[in-house]
Structure 1
Amino acid sequence: MSIEAHLATLEKKHFALEEELHAAMNRPSAEDQSIADLKRRKLRIKDEIERLRSTAH
């Protein structure tokens, strides 16, 4: 898989997690642990995107 394709996949996952996080935060029954897990997963993907972008240049 090329770096560009990998970046595109990661960006889609990041966007999906953003949507999932937004929905979870708007649910009154959302657990703090679940929200924290979503935030951690989103941050890991963001870090991976940034790492790939810096190595691609």
Structure 2
Amino acid sequence: SEYEGNYGGKENQCADNKRVGYRMIRGGAWNNFPRGVRAAYRGSHLRDSRLNDVGFRVAR
């Protein structure tokens, strides 16, 4: 898409006060349920969670 410097739309506040302690995760894994395997998958977990299938991949 083309960048437009002036945006005429209404500003959206994305933070939801009820979910302050949560962080978004994106992407899928081979061990997810079918809809979670897609790279477009979005989910959330508590920000202090430790999960064995969430992280980042270093590629060259």
Give your verdict on TM over 0.5.
no
* Greater gyration radius: 2
The structure with the greater share of residues assigned to strand is: 2
Where relative contact order (Cα < 8 A, 6+ residues apart) is larger, the structure is: 1
TM-score (norm: length of structure 1): 0.23
Q: TM-score scaled to structure 2, two decimals?
A: 0.22
